[in-house]
Structure 1
Amino acid sequence: MRHLIALVFLFLAPMAAACPDAPDHSAALNDLLQRIQRAPNEYQARRISNEMWALWADAPDEAAQAVLDRGMGKRRSFDLIGALEDFDRLIAYCPDYAEGYNQRAFVRFLQQDYDSALIDLDHALKLSPTHVAALAGKALTLIGLGRDEEGQAVLRLALSLNPWLPERNLLQAPKGEEL
């Protein structure tokens, strides 16, 4: 019921109240990044990664959380247009919340709108520079744009933060070197 009330509020009066600041999870995220770098195996790394996702997806308030959750549900069911609308609304309400941009970038990536995805990823990373998923998404987006060298550089940065990323399989040796 609370989610329904929050959704009604967000849809009827998105600018009636300002979005509060996103929760500051920087200390917890830094701790998780250190733990994932020491993870002994992929299973442990996935558990730590899930903890990171829980923090990234912790929206600033109930209304924003309801829209984020709804957009992510639509994206998972491949209602990409509906998801995009929800993430647009979330960003309009909470322009300083990195995950809104990251999720919209993911939808745009799925739509193969790589240029727009890259803009959103850059914005997400400006707000949250160690957002490993956004870094991995940026690497994939750059590769999708045919900018392989840039994509590889960003992928290396992402892997320096989380060596267990699934995208590690896309890493190529620098020219003239072996991995």
Structure 2
Amino acid sequence: MPPTPQETAEQRSDLLDSLFARLHTARDASNAEVLQEAVWQLWMRSGSPTIDVLVGQAGRAMTAKQYQKALTILDTVVEIDPDFPEGWNKRATVLYLLGDHERAIADIERALDLEPRHFGALAGLGMILRSEGDKKGALDAFKRALEINPFLDSAKDAVRILDKEVGRAI
């Protein structure tokens, strides 16, 4: 018999727990990269073939810089499955690219409610807050992302710069 949806969700959760534990103790960036990719692959799977196809279409639209099209698709994704964290995270990315930071932040917060370890969403939050001049908020977001995934080079660079800038402002 195939696993029940609850059994599948529990297996997915256990696998994510294991990957995050291993990511925290990874010896080097190469090892961490493999683990990060495995996490992203799990995050991208909604459990619904329909949602997965829509997310793929949205990704292709984003690559083609067809942000309004991607937004329309991702609106559908979060409407169909409001408990799919990556739907919210992807839509936040598109909203950021469209300049709608307020809605992007709201979507990131929803993604983080569903998956508090979403280091990509935290790094995205840091980028948005930094672009809005909230250096302390950005610094906090980047640090939270690094607590989960200590191998995010862009977050490390941002923390190094923001630490100095926030320190001078105090």
- Residue in structure 2 matched with residue 168 of structure 1 by the alignment: 156
The structure whose residues are more often helix, as a share, is 2
TM-score by length of 1: 0.81
3-state DSSP of counterpart to 1:152: helix
TM-score by length of 2: 0.85
Q: 1:113 pairs with 100, 103, 106, which one? A: 100
Q: CA RMSD in A?
A: 1.9
Q: 1:145 pairs with 132, 144, 152, which one? A: 132
Equivalents in 2 of 1:26, 1:173: separation in Å? 34
CA contact (8 A) 1:91 1:97 kept: yes
- Residue in structure 1 matched with residue 119 of structure 2 by the alignment: 132
Q: Write the deviation string for residues 43-100 of structure 1: whole angstroms up to 9, x where unpaired.
A: 2211111001001000131111110111111112211111111100101111111111
- The structure-2 alpha-carbon separation of the partners of 1:176 and 1:68, relative to structure 1 and needing over 3 Å to count, comes to closer
Please identify, of 135-144 and 155-164, the stretch whose mean Cα deviation from structure 2 is larger: 135-144
Q: Write the deviation string for residues 11-44 of structure 1: whole angstroms up to 9, x where unpaired.
A: xxxxxxxxx8894522211211111122222122
Gaps of 5+ in 2: none
Q: Which amino acid aligns with 1:170?
A: A
1:176 deviation in Å?
A: 4.6
Structure with the larger RCO, 1 or 2 (CA within 8 Å, 6+ apart): 1
Query: For this pair of structures, how many residues does the alignment match?
Result: 158
Please identify, of 99-108 and 38-47, the stretch whose mean Cα deviation from structure 2 is larger: 38-47
Equivalents in 2 of 1:62, 1:40: separation in Å? 35
Q: How does 1:23-38 map to 2 (within 5 A)?
A: 23-24=9-10, 25-38=12-25
- The structure-2 alpha-carbon separation of the partners of 1:91 and 1:40, relative to structure 1 and needing over 3 Å to count, comes to same
Query: Identity over aligned residues, as a percent?
Result: 27
